[in-house]
Amino acid sequence: MIATIQYNSKKLKIDLSNPLDISIPLRASKSNVNAWYVNEPKIEPETDGDWIASVKEGASINFNNIYFNPHAHGTHTECVGHITEKVHSINENLKQFFFLAEVITVAPERFNGDYVISEKQIKFALGNKKRDALILRTIPNTQEKLSYQYSNTNWSYLEEDAVKYIVSKGIKHLLIDLPSIDKEKDDGELLGHNAFWNTKGKLRLDATITELIYVANSIKDGAYFLNLQIAPFENDATPSKPILYKIIK
């Protein structure tokens, strides 16, 4: 199905028949993607004495409890409440869910023993494009990302100047296939997060960061229409399901 929509001052033709899911599902497994030194998620039936809420165990229903951390166990979207003393809820602050997005692929560069994404790389990939959302795919890009155990791996991250440049371009929604836009161990500085949400000035309450996505290699760099779906959690972060739609030219 091809839909024509009015987005800002432009008319866009969107291919709704071919949604491109860039989320990582959550599974009760040690092979579930993981970060931040926590155990794997659990999905298990409620119990009451000898009664187990599982059809397999003789109950009439399946009635599971789920134990997980949105920051550690899969694709999640977070707001400024992730790093502020005052509680800010993603459910309260994200009120629009469709955005013009750009997918770019970057190869993190070696710098002082780390691998980083620089301002120069972002500038080169974006050029003069005006986008609401930026989707960063890092290489190498293998299916290992769907189950990778990130704790104590010193993953790649965005340099502070790169984040400031993204903000200067008016981008409000940043999506990346890593556990964080910041260095794994940075003594709590969180330079990228602070720059993105402008914690030294007027907070960007409607800006979001989505981490631990997976952008398959079959998805080409370029412009897409993004549907950023979230679960309605009153929390700084929530599991999310970003979906891309091709724009027909």
Average pLDDT, the chain: 97
Q: Is 237 part of any domain?
A: yes
- Confidence category of residue 33, pLDDT binned at 50, 70, 90: very high
Question: Does 54 fall in a domain?
Answer: no
Structure confidence at residue 249 (pLDDT): 81
Distances (CA, A) of 11 to 72, 97, 245, 249: 38, 18, 15, 11
Dist CA 80 CA 40 (whole Å):
26
The domain spanning residue 183 has which CATH number? Answer: 3.50.30.50
- Give percent of the chain above pLDDT 70: 100
Residue 54 pLDDT greater than 90, yes or no: yes
The pLDDT > 90 percentage for the chain reads: 95
Instruction: Please choose, from the candidates 226, 224, 222, the residue with its C-alpha nearest in 3D space to the C-alpha of residue 242.
Output: 226
Q: Which helix (H) or strand (E) holds 120?
A: helix 119-126
Model confidence at 226, pLDDT cuts 50, 70, 90, reads: very high
Q: Is there a domain that residue 40 lies in?
A: no
**Is 7 contained in some domain?**
no
2 within a domain of the structure (yes/no): no
Tally of domains in the chain = 1
pLDDT > 90? residue 10: no
Q: Is the pLDDT of residue 1 over 90?
A: no
For 189, the 3-state DSSP assignment is coil
CB atoms within 10 A of CB 128: 5
pLDDT above 90 for 132 = yes
Report the pLDDT averaged over residues 43-53. 97
Residue 14 neighbours by CB distance under 10 Å: 20
Specify the DSSP class assigned to residue 157.
E
The predicted-structure confidence for 100-109, as pLDDT tens digits, reads as follows 999 999 999 9
| Gap between the Cα atoms of 165 and 198, Å rounded | 12
Q: What number is the average pLDDT over the span 35-50? A: 97
Q: Is residue 211, in this structure, part of any structural domain at all?
A: yes
5 in a structural domain: no
Looking at the domain assignment, is residue 167 inside a domain? yes
Phi, psi of 208 (to 5 degrees): -130, 155
Bridge partners of 127, per DSSP, are none
- The rounded distance, in Å, linking the Cα atoms of 173 and 19 is 19
Confidence of residue 171 (pLDDT cuts 50, 70, 90): very high
CB atoms within 10 A of CB 203: 17
pLDDT at 11 over 90: no
Domain range spanning residue 161? Answer: 17-25+70-248
Provide mean pLDDT across the span 138-152: 98
Predicted confidence at residue 3, as pLDDT, reads 85
Mean pLDDT of 178-204: 97
The reported pLDDT for the residue numbered 9 is 79
